Chains A and B, each alone.
Chain A
Amino acid sequence: EIVLTQSPGTLSLSPGERATLSCRASQGISSSHLTWYQQKPGQAPRLLIYGASSRATGIPDRFSGSGSGTGTDFILTISRLEPEDFAVYYCQQYGSSSYTFGQGTKLEIK
Chain B
Amino acid sequence: QVHLVQSGAEVKKPGASVKVSCKASGYTFTTYYIHWVRQAPGQGLEYMGIISPSDGGTNYAQNFQGRVTMSRDTSTSTVYMELNSLRSEDTAVYYCARERADTLYFDYWGQGTLVTVSS
Residues of A with Cβ closer than 8 Å to B? 1, 32-33, 35, 37, 44-47, 50-51, 56-57, 90, 92, 94, 97-104
Chain B residues in 8 Å Cβ range of A100 = 47
Instruction: Show 15 residue pairs from A and B whose CB-CB distance is below 8 angstroms, ordered by the A residue.
Output: A35-B105, A44-B97, A44-B109, A44-B110, A47-B107, A47-B108, A50-B105, A56-B107, A57-B107, A90-B45, A92-B45, A98-B47, A98-B61, A101-B46, A104-B44
Number of A-B contacts (CB under 8 A): 54
By a CB distance below 8 angstroms, the chain A residues around B97 are: 44-45
Q: How distant is the Cα of A44 from the Cα of B95 in the complex, in angstroms? A: 8
The answer to whether residues A101 and B109 also contact, given A33-B104, A44-B95 and a CB cut-off of 8 A, is no
**B25 on the A face (CB < 8 A):** no
> Is B28 positioned at the interface, with any CB of A under 8 Å from its CB?
no
Q: 5 tightest CB-CB pairs across the interface, nearest first?
A: A44-B109, A50-B105, A101-B45, A35-B105, A99-B47
Complex CA gap A17/B14 in Å reads: 47
Contacts A45-B95, A97-B59, A98-B59 known; A32 to B104 CB distance under 8 Å? yes
